[in-house]
Amino acid sequence: MGSFSITHWLILLVVVVVVFGTAKLKNAGKDLGGAVKGFKEAVKDEEAEHARKNRMLSHENSTPAASNDLNTQVGTQVDDMQISPITADDQHKV
């Protein structure tokens, strides 16, 4: 009862063609195809951008640091933000 038979779909198709005409249906199909094509291109561009960023990040992480000695390293730089170790004086401020 919830699904249409093939006869119902054919009658619906004939009614739609009669009401809208073939020219409007052709234009609607062309517009829908263009929208799908644009969406696929946007997704492909986004995936390429994501892959490029991942390659840049993996390249930055693979470069050796100038000094890995913890005694000489004062802070750690993350995304242009300097993070320094907490000292005894800083603990009272928190």
pLDDT single digits (tens) 14-65: 999 999 898 888 899 999 999 999 999 999 999 988 888 888 777 777 655 5
pLDDT at 74: 52
pLDDT tier for residue 85 given thresholds of 50, 70 and 90: low
Q: Which domain holds residue 42?
A: 1-63
**Which residues partner with 83 through β-bridges?**
76
Please give the Cα distance from 35 to 42 (Å, whole number): 11
Specify if 93 maps to a domain: no
Chain-centre distance for alpha carbon 75: 33
In a domain, 24, yes or no: yes
Q: Is residue 94, in this structure, part of any structural domain at all?
A: no
Looking at the predicted structure, is the pLDDT value of residue 1 above 80? no
Question: Do residues 27 and 35 lie in contact, with contact meaning Cβ atoms separated by under 8 Å?
Answer: no
**Model pTM above 0.75:** no
